[in-house]
Every structure is written in C-alpha cells, then in structure tokens.
Amino acid sequence: MDIIIVGFGAIGKGVAKVLYEKREYLKKNFEEFRVVAITDSSGAAIDEDGLDLLKAIEVKEKTGKIKNYPEKGKEISSIDVIRNVDADVVVEVTPSNLETGEPAKTHILESFKNKKHVVTANKGPLALCYRELIEEAKKYNVIFRHEASVGGAMPIINLAKETLAGNEILSIRGILNGTTNYILTKMEKEGLDFETALKEAKELGIAETDPTQDIEGLDTAAKIVILANSIMGMNKTIKDVKVKGIKRITPEALFLANKRGYTIKLIGQIKDGYLIVEPMLVPIDSPLNVKGTLNVAMFETDLAKEVVVVGRGAGPIETASAILSDLIHIYQATKR
C-alpha cells in the first residue's frame, strides 16, 4: 500500500518511525506499506519506489525542511503532491486549526477528489465540518478514518463504532486532554496553584508554549464534537459546546473536594443531546479518576451498559499507533 504523509512535524515523524519499525511485521501480515511522498511547508520528498524513512527523519531534524531530502526533495506544494503522486492513502497530520480547519480541510477534500483514502489526526476540519467531509468521502467512494483525532492512542472511535456495534450509545463522558489532567493532578498532589503547575507542565514539554486551547477547554470541546458526530450521529460544531476551562481552579478547591471523597477533573460530556466541557467533581473511586497525562472515556450503552477505556492521549508514537490501525483497516477493507 502506498502512502503520502502530509505534514512532517512530531506526529508525521512519529508515523514515519512506526512504519519503519513495523516494516517486517506489516510485510509479513499484510503487504509492504511504502511511503511514496512526505510533505511539509517547505516542499516535499517524492519517490514512487518508497522513501528511506530514516533518512527523511534525519533530514527534517537536521535542516527543518523535507525539501532537502537528497535528490528526491523539491519545492512543491502539498496540494500538488496530493494531485500528482500516485498513492492509495493520504495521512493528513498538519497542525490543527480550530478556527478554519485549514490547510487540512483542503488537503482532505483534494485527496478524496483524487480517489485517495484519508487517515487524519487533525481535529480542526472534523470539529468544524464533519458532515461535509463524510459526504464528500462517500461521493468519491473513499475511506475516511480519524481514530487519532480523539484521545491519541486510546481506541475510542473505532471501539464505539466497531467493537460496540449494535449498541446504542446513550452518553459519553471523559477526560480527553492530558495537559489539563496533568496540571490538576499536580495541583492536587502537591498543593500547587494553577500558574505554578502550568509553568512546570510547560518546562516538561507537557503543555505547549501557548496552552490556551488546552486550559480553556477548547481542545476537549473539539474532541467532544468529533465524538458526537462520528459515534452518535449528531451534526454539531464547536460552537454548539458549552465550555469552561480550569484556570480558576484553586488548590483549596481540590483540598475541599478531597475531604468529601472527590477530585476535580476537566470533563467533556455528551448527554441528552448536549455537549458540555467543564471542571467537575469526580468521586475518587470512579474509573474516570485517572492521573497524570492519561485520558479516559466512559460510554453508557443500552446493551453493554458502562464501558471504560483508558490510554495515552498524546505523544507522537502513541498517536501513530492509532494512525497505523486506521491504515491497516483501509488495507483490509480494500485489498482483500
């Protein structure tokens, strides 16, 4: 199966690394998964016989630009690569933009038009125009998968749609942002105030330099929208979510909550058609009380009742795990 990786930041490199490390396994169990092109904002490296992934990672890390890939690198836009390079699947992993969904949205739609299946980790276009993307994919008869867009390695979308198939999902609630969970855990354990815990998370590289989307709850809101649309068949956008962040949580509030047998978590939930993201009191013995950067989701279903899944919500290799499972799904659905 031939793959184009669009976007070569941490996640793109993670995908390349995983495809390299799993090459024998993939060949043995399925077929060769070749990466025929990698693009970033500088240009692309293209080789229809398959790129040397280790070399691509090295070039990107040393020079910051994939167009410096020896001989096969050149200045060309991602769109032109999607149009002109022959491949089965496009892996879209450019940075998420929650305001416009671009450039990912254009990349995805262009891939569909060129009869290429798409796997993405990109929350932007999914949270803004899910319905449109699904309909376009159907129109061009291609597969569109996005397990990595919510909860990183934690299998949530495919678990609900495939493993729990036949169940009616009545509600979903969970912790879908590792940064806020880390901050709250730290505040609770060490009695730190919010600013100090955030500073530490930044120093450790857990929080981004601009953590606004995380701490204000927007990242969780985007993921809740994706779950509502993809699992529960709703037609929501991020504007439909009521959002409160964790900025105002005090160590005293956590102390008082602890005294009564609770902890405080930033919970995203879909219940009775409403999408809400807000800090909530969670009983200490609840399965939702996961620590550190872990993510968790609880489904309430008609047949299986409650199902809980816990996993790593972020990290390039963890996210690549979800992308790889989508790639294998596409292989199995199309090549057998």
Partner 1 sequence: MITIDIELKDKPGELLRVLTPISKHGANVISVIHSREEKRGGKVPVRIVIDVDDKEKLKNILEDLEKEGAIIKKIDGKDKKVYLDVVVIGHVVDTNIRDTIDRINEIGLVEDLDLIMPHPDKESSAMMRIIIDEDKIEELFYLFEELEKEKGLLFIKSIF
Residue 25 or 255 having the CB closest to partner 1: 255
Contact 282, 265 (CB under 8 A): yes
- With contacts defined by CB under 8 A, name the span among 38-46, 123-131, 163-171, 245-253 that binds partner 1: 245-253
Binding site membership for L-homoserine: which residues?
208
- Closest C-alpha among 230, 243, 307 to residue 269: 243
Known catalytic residue at 62:
no
Binding residues for NADP(+): 7-12
Determine contact, residues 159/172, Cβ cutoff 8 Å.
no
- 285 three-class SS: coil
Question: Site map for partner 1, 38-77, x if CB under 8 A?
Answer: ----------------------------------------
* Closer by beta carbon to partner 1, 41 or else 171: 171
Helix, coil or strand: residue 172:
strand
Q: Nearer to partner 1 by C-beta: 204 or 308?
A: 308
Give the integer Cα–Cα distance in Å for 226 and 197.
29
- Rounded Cα gap, residues 119 and 92, in angstroms: 6
The token pair at 47 is: 């080789």
Kindly state whether residue 253 participates in binding partner 1, applying the rule CB under 8 A: yes
DSSP 35-93: EEEEEETTEEEE-TT---HHHHHHHHHHHS-GGGSTTTEE---HHHHHHHS--SEEEE-
What is d(CA 220, CA 336) in angstroms, rounded to the nearest whole number? 37
Distance of closest approach, residue 298 Cβ to partner 1, in angstroms: 10
285 is a contact residue toward partner 1 (CB under 8 A): no
> Other CB atoms closer than 10 Å to residue 180's CB: what's the count?
28
- Hey, which bits of 126-248 come out as E strands? 144-145, 169-175, 241-243
Q: Does 281 bind partner 1 (CB under 8 A)?
A: yes
Q: How far apart are CA 99 and CA 73, in angstroms?
A: 31
Nearer Cβ to partner 1 (134/280): 280
Q: Are 297 and 305 in contact (CB under 8 A)?
A: no
Of residues 60, 105, 223, 265, which has the active-site annotation?
223
Q: Which string of x and - marks every residue 114-153 that binds partner 1 (by CB under 8 A)?
A: ----------------------------------------
Q: Which of 27, 29, 54, 255 binds partner 1 (CB under 8 A)?
A: 255
| Residues that contact partner 1, how many (by CB under 8 A) | 23
Shortest distance, position 252 Cβ to partner 1, whole Å: 4
Q: Find the part of the chain contacting partner 1 (CB under 8 A) among 13-21, 184-192, 231-239, 242-250.
A: 242-250
151 to 190: interface string for partner 1, x by CB under 8 A: ----------------------x-----------------
- Give the catalytic positions in this structure: 223
> Which residues sit at the interface with partner 1, rule CB under 8 A?
173, 244, 248-250, 252-253, 255-257, 259-260, 262, 264, 267, 278-283, 286, 288
